[in-house]
Structure 1
Amino acid sequence: MSIFTNWTDAHTRKFQNDIMCVNHNLASTGLFSDGALADMLDNHPDHMLDVCTMGKDKMYPNKFRTGDFRGCDGKSLIEMVQQGKLYINARRAMNLHPQYNEILQQMYAELSEKTGNKEFNANGGILISSPIAKVPYHTDRQHVVLWHIHGTKRVYVYPMANKFMSDTSYEAVATNTLLDDLPYEDVFDEDATVLTLKGGEMACWQLNQPHRVVNETFCVSIASEYSDHTSALKNSAMYAQAAMRSRFSSKPVWKDTAPPIRLAKAVAGKILKKSGLYKTTITPDFVTFKVDKTAPGYIVDIEPVQRDF
């Protein structure tokens, strides 16, 4: 079985360089039916499973809140997602479960063949989200590919410009273990490229390109990510920029910086991180609600407690 059904030379040119969509047939594997996903959830480690809902932060609209899902079986979780306001991320599910990993390896073998890129070291999470779920405006530290399988969702992708993500904002992401959200304003949408994805479409964009997602129906997707020399170099350089900005009140910039300077920043960033001279911000994950099948919307708010599962 070939993963892609309509890949052309134009897709090869656009991959990693521009916004692109292409068709795939992952649904035909049978691994993404409600029953198969319920079985996967029942066997997925708790510490690798996130069940969230959307919050009401003004600067970070729809910022995810973490829920305590313990005691819920996979079938019940999927039913509650279909009817409520929940979002499941089974992190690295495509790596941890052999039948899914077999497909992940094929997905990236075909990407390698079609793009000539041999650096893939992909992780793949399975996203199961409610009809009214929204993913907040954010960036990713690594290259991301969204493989949409069931349902309809709109993906808003924004230009790589300082207006939409400043160096300061990305430095905060690069030096934080949990943060990837960005400050958002409604006016940003005037410049967004909007992709309406149906099941069987894959989408990707440039490294770090800001984006957000709005579901129109119950959705199932794979979000896969991989690092390469470009992403590793930038993340190390931004680590150095964060140190320069906070320790020496300098105003470093990334865009239009000459390649030798970028490389020097990356080397400095690696040294700073490894030596502990500039520490990564470790943000604890707080649980703020309990998933309860008997409650309205399946959500019971609780006093925030640091996640320990």
Structure 2
Amino acid sequence: MTTLAAPRNMAKTSRKDASLKAARAAMSPSILDGWTDTETQNFQREIMTFRHKLEETGLFSDEALIDLLERHPSHMLDVCTMGATDDPLYPNRFRTGDFRDVPAADILAAAKAGRIWVNVRQAMNVHEDYKAVLDKMYGGLAEATGGRVFNAKGGILISSPVARVPYHFDKTEVVLWHVRGQKTVYVWPVDQTFIPDTAHESKLTNMLDDDLPYTAEFEDHATVLRLQPGQGASWPLNSPHRVDNETFCVSVTTEFSTSESGTKNAAMITNAVLRRYFGMNPLYAQDGAMTRQMKSIIGRIVRRTPLAADTTHTDLVTFKIDPKVEGYLVDVEPFERTF
């Protein structure tokens, strides 16, 4: 089996080169590439794509990713695979893997060869070289969209050619910055067919699960984005989406909260309480601005009470990465993740 590990002096050189490239990128005019007035008008309002220059930073090469995996905190790293479930409404749900004691080069090799999806959570915030680039990314967005302030978090996704991200939504605003490979993103409208309020409400107290019920009939209603390196994508708040990777892929996913996302999440916690305890059937889309604000205030209070108890399930590890096995995956007796 070919190893991707580099000699120590070569690894140091790669890290230095990547840091220099990142520093140059941070001083460059913008990470955005040819952003237009139309993109400013559509940002967060429509499903859209745009161009960026993240690949030029040198922070997403194999050598840079191995270095990143070596120094990233293990509790902020997820190594997952996709597995069938007994519930046809939730296909391809993620399974958590054990990557402890596995060299970073082998984790990357597993992502290239198997059915692995790696989420390097908040990599763009934790490490200074990546943080410099994140600041430039959102500095460019702030300038392009009218001087707004973004408090963005950014993770790096490393995905196998056959990795599938299940049908889900995000609780905050997100932007996907694709860097390497080819992937297809399917995005749906925000309405009761594709993201019922009941499903949205049920996920607000669960920190591990954003999956939504899905049926094959949804496919005819999706907007399809086939992303190439250097393309980014954005869509309206809470738009349901799923992702198919066509090749080995590397992407950056960033999220940020806005007054809209904060108000909506808190108001929907109030709606969940009204639904569960009072037999009402509230719909966020039918509430006016004043009602949403009132419900948001109540929801922020309710969130701190047992009425909105944490429903996060136990994160069970069901497989491990084994470089000696074809495909790199070995099932294990499930146990709770504590690392």
TM-score (norm 2): 0.89
Match in the other structure for 1:56:
84
Question: In the alignment, is the contact (CA less than 8 A) between 1:130 and 1:215 conserved in 2?
Answer: yes
How far apart, in 1, do the equivalents of 2:37 and 2:73 lie?
A: 40
**1:299, CA displacement in angstroms?**
0.9
How many residue pairs get aligned? The number is: 309
- Provide the aligned C-alpha RMSD in A: 1.0
**Runs of 5+ in structure 2 lacking a partner?**
1-27
Question: In the alignment, is the contact (CA less than 8 A) between 1:172 and 1:179 conserved in 2?
Answer: no
Q: Does 1:32 align with 2:93?
A: no
**1:296, CA displacement in angstroms?**
2.9
How far apart, in 1, do the equivalents of 2:91 and 2:270 lie?
A: 29
How far apart, in 1, do the equivalents of 2:209 and 2:279 lie?
A: 23
How far apart, in 2, do the equivalents of 1:207 and 1:190 lie?
A: 21
1:97 is matched with which residue: 127, 134, 137?
127
**1:244, CA displacement in angstroms?**
1.4
Match in the other structure for 2:212:
182
1:172 is matched with which residue: 202, 215, 219?
202
Q: For residues 141-183 of structure 1, give each alpha carbon's deviation from its aligned partner in whole angstroms, at most 9, with x where no partner exists.
A: 0000000000000000011111101000000111212110000
Secondary structure at 1:75 match in 2? helix
CA, structure 1 residues 172+106, in 2 after alignment: closer, same or farther (shift >3 Å)?
same
How far apart, in 1, do the equivalents of 2:147 and 2:211 lie?
A: 28
Matches within 5 A, 1:119-158: 119-158=149-188
How far apart, in 2, do the equivalents of 1:203 and 1:188 lie?
A: 20
How far apart, in 1, do the equivalents of 2:111 and 2:120 lie?
A: 13
Match in the other structure for 1:70:
100
Matches within 5 A, 1:1-309: 1=28, 2-57=30-85, 58-116=88-146, 118-309=148-339
User: Which sits farther off after the overlay, 143-152 or 74-83?
Assistant: 74-83
**1:72, CA displacement in angstroms?**
1.1
How far apart, in 1, do the equivalents of 2:312 and 2:211 lie?
A: 15
Question: In the alignment, is the contact (CA less than 8 A) between 2:209 and 2:312 conserved in 1?
Answer: no
- Identical-pair percentage: 49
Q: For residues 225-253 of structure 1, give each alpha carbon's deviation from its aligned partner in whole angstroms, at most 9, with x where no partner exists.
A: 00011000011011111111111221111
**1:274, CA displacement in angstroms?**
2.1
Answer with 1 or 2: which has the greater Rg: 2
How far apart, in 2, do the equivalents of 1:242 and 1:296 lie?
A: 46
**Runs of 5+ in structure 1 lacking a partner?**
none
Matched residue type, 2:227? L
